[in-house]
Amino acid sequence: TKKIKAALLGAAGGIGQPLALLLKQSPHLTDLALFDIAPVVKGVAVDISHISTPSIVTGYDKEDDGLVKALTDADIVVIPAGVPRKPGMSRDDLFNINASIVRDLAQSIASTCPKAFICVISNPVNSTVPIVAEVLKKAGVFDPKRLFGVTTLDILRAQTFSAEIIGQSNASSTFNVPVIGGHSGVTILPLLSQSKPPLKGVSQEQIEALTKRIQFGGDEVVQAKAGAGSATLSMAAAGFRFVERLIDAAFNGKSGVVEDSYILLKADASGSKELLKHTDNVELDYFSVPVELGPEGVKKILPIGELSEYEQTLMKKAVEELKGNIVKGVSFVEAKL
Ligand code: APR
């Protein structure tokens, strides 16, 4: 059978641990490497190693070149490493810490497993994905088809909250709502007008409330956890869904696998042209778009479809903010590398 190795960086964290558990349940992986700077990661690996599934799981901390060992021969690298925002910490403080963590991890990926698919979860994804890209570019190993910012949690929220609003949370029908743009606040653009099945009997007022709930869904979790962290379990579920779809398309020969994901638009030149119709010709390097996945990663960016008038106004706001987020990531690498 085919060998498929995944490396999870930040595996001892709030997202990392449940994501490690889910990845261990995958019938497809043969190797699972867990890396974290927290030494407990070795114990996490031993713990889940008792689950009988095909993968061999190994935990690594910083000792003995742990990161290099975790990354060696990795086919897929998933990155939830970072720090959550603590009281008194500004968004800029958080940005600088996570940006440095992601930059350093990207450097190790560039030198150890440059051909791996990279799935970035560490926030702010709008900026951390450009950071990984810049590091790989400087190392001369960047393949835009293999780099993804995981925005799947926005899709899950859109599905769940849409079902809730029309009182069908127990119905068998699942709402499929494309969610494009970025991965925080107003950069998140749920295309509720394209919901399948359509959101019948929902007023414009409800659409706007639903949109805001999806955009700021993360805050609901932060508030409910009252200082103890942000979304971890739902994020792990989302990350797992993304990795499984990537494996299906890239390693298991499944065709027609589509998932919205935050990617470098140049990964598919024709797809990026299509987007310009919706952004008043403002060019963006990165955007979450519907992506058909294939053996090389990004196979094709799919058209976005028609936007409602309301969604067009959201698009303007999203584009404006996202542009700044992207510049912030790119210039972080230029300044510090
Ligand atoms: N290399 C590997 N792991 C690291 C590094 C590093 N350089 N720096 C920190 N970590 C680990 C921490 O030791 C911790 O185990 O990353 C893990 C992060 O876990 P939590 O602090 O519990 O944070 P979590 O809630 O999982 O969020 C992680 O995802 O959604 C984003 O904004 C969130 O950026 C944050 C990240």
Instruction: Report pLDDT digits (tens) over 91-100.
Output: 788 899 999 9
Distances 174 to 155, 195, 281, 309 between C-alpha atoms, Å: 12, 10, 34, 25
pTM exceeding 0.90: yes
pLDDT in tens, 244-254: 999 999 999 99
C-alpha 127 to ligand 1 mean position (Å)? 16
Q: What is the pLDDT of residue 111?
A: 98
> Measured from the CA of 11, which atom of ligand 1 is nearest?
15
> Measured from the CA of 128, which atom of ligand 1 is nearest?
34
Average pLDDT, the chain: 94
Residue 171 predicted with pLDDT over 70: no
Residue 335 predicted with pLDDT over 60: yes
Q: Does residue 293 come out as left (phi exceeding 0), alpha (psi in the -120 to 50 range) or beta?
A: beta
Q: What is the mean pLDDT of residues 199-212?
A: 95
C-alpha 137 to ligand 1 mean position (Å)? 24
- What is the rounded CA–CA span in Å between residue 93 and residue 157? 28
Instruction: Tell me the residue type at 324.
Output: G
Decide if 183 is catalytic: yes
Q: What is the mean pLDDT of residues 72-94?
A: 88
